[in-house]
């Protein structure tokens, strides 16, 4: 136990003089306990003198309060004498039996196997046959068992019960359960091969459960004004993490079933955007900040969706998502957007950065990077820069239709070569991904890249990295 003060324990060794060889084995064990493990050992060869009463010695050792443990060395000789109550061992057995029966739950008496039968069965007297023992009969496992015996004597077990923790937060916190979503995911996972005809219905059910769960995360104006609004937003963002993972798992399952289409994803993101504005007309006060957690969630979820589609090389669907016009049915009107709408800026996160003097170039970018983890940081930046470059190419430098890549706040990482862009020098890769940029051939992409205007970096130093930072225009499609 950590920081436990150890005290030398005292043990008494009960054994049989079965043979000279066995006596030497017991003597070696006793010596090691004393000299190596700092254990005080009461042992007849050291403590029983000529003229003393050996039975009284045995009884006093067994009953002594100064003796912490009694090691009962079990071999064929000890078992035979104990079971038949013969000799000194027989007398000692009577004393031990009485003590053991009076202390059923005691750990004071430890059987130690010194021998097994030829068939490998343990040799142990009847009176202690139900007790847990330590097995020193096997040379291969002797050291491990000796350590466990030493731990028993010191009462410092290898596996220690941890300190009692706090009550689970879910017992007292009124947090939302995503069980319906996970249950539908399990059904989708089962149906994708066995009953594929169920998939369209399960996809609809997943969406319904997903949006119903999201409604439980809505924030009203009173909640927002009861404490610093940016802390409530951060808490909600953290609570939404499982739903991000659920959606990516959903994409994976539908993709594995071979029925993933851009329509499925488009339908989802059109529905998600309705959470960024009020849904019903009432007399309650509202604030744009009360939707910031959903804005961050949509931004993050779109990035992770693109990350996954790059990984699975589903470039056609990426192209369809980036070229699509999204129709968002808000309460007061229906609006048309391109994908750059999902790159929401969250004012509450910006205020938090200022109020707490966190001095982040972009706290929103920092949150995105923290939540993706070190192993996937490059993939997140790659997706972010792909969306930026695609928006510049697809929308002809329109300043109102640019996906501005927040992850370039981590300039030393975003300046590294992006593999997705570097691979454009290969004709095959270009043919695979050209649909993303809405071009038919290499020359058309080269022309569009030459026309791109530069944007100031979010760091204030240099420009936002373009595709051409990873590959020269003349190298595209050259291999």
Q: What is the pLDDT of residues 418-428, one digit of tens each?
A: 899 999 999 99
DSSP character string of 65-109: TT--EEEEEE-HHHHHHHHHT-HHHHHHHHHHHHHHHHTTT--SE
Report the percent of the chain where pLDDT is more than 70.
91
Cα dihedral 107, 109, 114, 117 sign = negative
- What CATH number was assigned to the domain covering residues 10-154? 3.40.50.10140
Highest averaged pLDDT of the listed ranges 45-49, 190-194, 298-302:
298-302
In whole angstroms, what is the distance from residue 63 CA to residue 57 CA?
10
Q: How high is the pLDDT of residue 23?
A: 95
Average confidence (pLDDT) over 376-380: 94
Average pLDDT score, the chain: 89
**Position of tokens 């009463």?**
53
The kind and range of the H/E element at 328 are strand 326-329
Split at pLDDT 50, 70, 90, the class of 106 is: confident
Q: Name the residue with higher pLDDT: 98 or 378.
A: 378
Q: How high is the pLDDT of residue 174?
A: 53
pLDDT greater than 90 at residue 336? yes
Q: How far is CA 225 from the centre of its chain?
A: 34
DSSP character string of 5-23: PP---EEEEE-----HHHH
Q: How high is the pLDDT of residue 178?
A: 82
Domain with CATH 3.40.50.10140 in the chain: 10-154
Q: How high is the pLDDT of residue 411?
A: 66
Average confidence (pLDDT) over 106-116: 91
Do residues 295 and 348 lie in contact, with contact meaning Cβ atoms separated by under 8 Å?
no
Do residues 272 and 217 lie in contact, with contact meaning Cβ atoms separated by under 8 Å?
no
Residue 312's nearest CA partner among 242, 383, 370, 381 is 383
Its pTM surpasses 0.75: no
Q: How high is the pLDDT of residue 213?
A: 94
Q: How high is the pLDDT of residue 86?
A: 75
Split at pLDDT 50, 70, 90, the class of 237 is: very high
């Amino acid at each position: 136990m950590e920081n436990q003060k150890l005290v030398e324990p005292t043990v008494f060794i009960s054994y049989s003089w079965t043979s000279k060889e066995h006596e030497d084995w017991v003597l070696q064990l006793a010596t090691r306990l004393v000299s190596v493990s700092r254990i005080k050992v009461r042992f007849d060869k050291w403590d029983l003198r000529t003229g003393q009463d050996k039975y009284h010695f045995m009884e006093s050792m067994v009953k002594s309060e100064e003796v912490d443990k009694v090691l009962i060395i079990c071999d064929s000789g000890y078992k035979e004498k104990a079971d038949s109550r013969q000799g000194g061992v027989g007398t000692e057995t009577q004393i031990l039996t009485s003590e053991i029966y009076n202390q059923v739950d005691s750990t004071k008496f430890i059987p130690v196997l010194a021998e097994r039968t030829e068939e490998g069965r343990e040799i142990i007297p009847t009176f202690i046959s139900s007790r847990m023992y330590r097995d020193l009969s096997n040379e291969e496992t002797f050291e491990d068992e000796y350590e466990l015996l030493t731990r028993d004597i010191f009462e410092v077990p290898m596996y220690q019960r941890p300190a009692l923790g706090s009550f689970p937060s879910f017992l007292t916190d009124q947090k939302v359960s995503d069980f319906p979503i996970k249950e539908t995911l399990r059904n989708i996972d089962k149906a994708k091969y066995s009953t594929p005809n169920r998939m369209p219905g399960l996809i609809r059910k997943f969406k319904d459960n997903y949006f119903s769960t999201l409604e439980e995360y809505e924030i009203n104006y009173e909640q927002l004004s009861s404490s610093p609004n940016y802390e409530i937003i951060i808490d909600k963002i953290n609570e939404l993490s499982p739903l991000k993972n659920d959606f990516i798992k959903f994409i994976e399952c539908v993709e594995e079933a071979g029925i993933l289409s851009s329509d499925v994803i488009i339908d989802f993101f059109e529905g998600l955007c309705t959470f960024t504005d009020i849904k019903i007309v009432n007399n309650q006060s509202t604030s744009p900040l009360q939707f910031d957690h959903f804005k961050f969630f949509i931004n993050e979820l779109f990035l992770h969706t693109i990350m996954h589609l790059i990984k699975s090389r589903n470039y056609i669907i990426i192209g369809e998502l980036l070229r699509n016009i999204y129709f968002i049915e808000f309460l007061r009107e229906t609006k048309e957007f391109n994908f750059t709408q999902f790159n929401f800026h969250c004012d509450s996160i910006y205020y938090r950065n200022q109020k707490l003097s966190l001095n982040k170039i972009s706290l929103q970018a920092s949150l995105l990077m923290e939540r993706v983890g070190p192993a996937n940081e490059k993939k997140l930046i790659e997706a972010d820069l792909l969306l930026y470059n695609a928006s510049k190419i697809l929308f002809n430098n329109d300043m109102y239709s640019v996906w501005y890549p927040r992850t370039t706040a981590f300039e030393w990482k975003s300046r590294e070569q992006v593999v997705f862009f570097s691979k454009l020098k290969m004709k095959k890769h270009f043919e695979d991904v050209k649909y993303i940029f809405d071009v038919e051939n290499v020359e058309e992409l080269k022309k569009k890249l030459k026309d791109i205007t530069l944007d100031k970096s979010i760091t204030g130093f240099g420009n936002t990295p373009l595709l051409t930072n990873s590959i020269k225009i003349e190298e595209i499609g050259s291999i």
